[in-house]
Structure formats: C-alpha cells, structure tokens
Amino acid sequence: MTLQYCRTILSLLFLSIISGCVTETQKIPDATKPTFEQEKFLEKKSSIKLSSPEAYNNRGTVYAEEGQYESALSDFTQAISLNPEFSGAYFNRGIVHSKLNQIKLAIADFTQAISLNPNLAQAYYNRAILYLQQGQHELALSDFTQAISLNPKYTDAYLERGVIYARQARRELALSDFTQTIFLNPRHFQAYRNRAILYLQQGQFELAIADFTQAISLNPNQVELYSNRGLLYARQDKTALALADYNQAISLNPEYAQTYYNLGLLHLKLDDREAAKSNFQKAQQLFIIQDKTAEASAVSRLLKTLGQ
C-alpha cells in the first residue's frame, strides 16, 4: 500500500518533482499464532477473537492493503491499547491516517513511532513527506537527513532532500543528492530528470542533454522529457533533433501546452513567424483550458509583440 503524493512539472522553468510515496505498512510475525496467511483467512472469515497486539497489527495490515481503512485503524488502535509501546502499530496507523488525508494524526503517529524506535528510518521519511505537504521544508529536510543517517542507502530520501535543496537554490547539494540517488539506483529516471534541469540552470547543456536522454531511455513515455531536450537541441541549433523531440512529445500528449510553446520559439528562431504564432496560439488555448493563467498570460504578451 502506497500513498501517491507524486507531483509532476509543467514547464522547463521549474524543478521537476516526483515525491517518494509513504511506505508500506509493516507485518509483525507472531510465532505463537497461526502463520500470517492462515491468520488472514481465519481472523477475517470467522469469529475467532484476537488476543495479541501482533495479531491485531497483522489483521490491520490486511485491512489496509484491501482498502478497508476504518477497520485497519480500529485494529491498529487496539494493538496500541494492548501494547502502548508497539512502535510498528503507530507506524502503520500513521500510514492509514495519511491515506485518509488525516495529516496531523499521521504526523503524530509517526512521531510516536520515532519516540519508541528512534532507528525507524521509514518513520522519519514518511513524516518528512507529510511535512512537505504542509510546506514545512526545514522540518522535512531534517527528517530526510535523519533517515539517510540511519539508512545511507535510502534512495528516495536522497531524491527528496535533493528536491528541497534545489528549491532553496542550494544547487551543489541538490546535484550531490541526485547523483547519489543515481549511484544507488541507476534506473531512477526521476533523478536523471531532476539533475538534467539543474545542469540546464547551470548552463551545462551537454550534461543536461545526456541526463534527459538517459531518463528517456528509462521512461520513454514521459512527454516533458522530449519537450525539454528539444528546447536544448534548439538552443544548440540542432533543428532536426529539436523537431523530432517536439513531434514525439506531441504524439505522446497532444494536450501538453509547453511543447507547442517550445515549438513556437523554434519557428521564431527560424524566422517563420506564422508557424510561431500558430504554435503560440495552440499553447495559449491549452494553458487556458488547463487553468494555467500565468502561462496563458505570458504567451498572450508574446503574441501581442508578434502582432496577433
């Protein structure tokens, strides 16, 4: 069970963010009881009364995995009632509160889990994700750092911390974290994409193109990767490559406004004002439909300079 707090980016001008998702509930084995699979069947399908906090925790995990969140909350709460020092039950209840968008309750449970088990790296990570949802970046940064301290191979914690550093314009630290993410998981396309945008911001266009290309090889259906790489090719006067990327982006998603804007810039550079205006108008229409007011206004101002 994961919580999708994933965020994507519209434009090349902002850092692309794919948030790590709150991690799964933990099953606690109980050697004195039936196997977990037996318990899953017996305790849910019969009236056998549970007696241990571990059993309630395990059944709560099953409920959570099946989307029966209220039943899961009840079982995790009962596990805690039987054993108030059961850090895993607090952790799992925090997951379910998060799933129900009960952010304050989730943070309280992750905090209690940490209090009982200060070495629980996942609890720091999950709490950091929730702090991000609340815009508390410094608290999130502290928790991601603690998660990494406890688990130096915590790939997603490096990625998330890198995003915060990038937002704070601490680009070298962000680059370091994205690079570490790639070192730990060479197939992490989000890290390549984020690092590419930082390279672009630093004017290291060849490195940016290389990372966008690697991200595309790992996830060839991400439209913004082609649109962004095309913009870089256009900057290098590699018109054919830029057009190929823009066409691929449009074939993947004809409603992605940024591609038409970038294509308009390319035609403007080629002194084809009519083609540029046509693409800018298409971008403006899509931005309006998608309630992207600021972007639509920016394109409108550009069209006025072209004598729309």
Q: CA-based angle 139:144:149, to the nearest 5?
A: 125
Three-state DSSP state, 229: helix
What backbone torsions phi and psi does residue 3 show, to the nearest 5 degrees? Answer: -105, 125
User: Distance between CA atoms of 296 and 120, rounded to whole angstroms?
Assistant: 46
pLDDT digits (tens, 9 = 90+) for 108-162: 999 999 999 999 999 999 999 999 999 999 999 999 999 999 999 999 999 999 9
Amino acid 1: pLDDT: 31
pLDDT digits (tens, 9 = 90+) for 166-184: 999 999 999 999 999 999 9
- Whether this model's pTM surpasses 0.85: no
User: Distance between CA atoms of 206 and 300, rounded to whole angstroms?
Assistant: 32
- Amino acid symbol at 267: H
- Whether residue 6 is predicted with pLDDT greater than 60 in this model: the reply is no
Domains of the chain by start residue, with CATH: 1-134 (1.25.40.10), 152-219 (1.25.40.10), 223-308 (1.25.40.10)
Characterise 291 by phi-psi region: left (phi > 0), alpha (psi -120 to 50), beta (else).
left
Three-state DSSP state, 111: helix
The stretch 269-298 carries a mean pLDDT of 94
- Model confidence at 36, pLDDT cuts 50, 70, 90, reads low
The stretch 210-236 carries a mean pLDDT of 96
User: Distance between CA atoms of 91 and 77, rounded to whole angstroms?
Assistant: 11
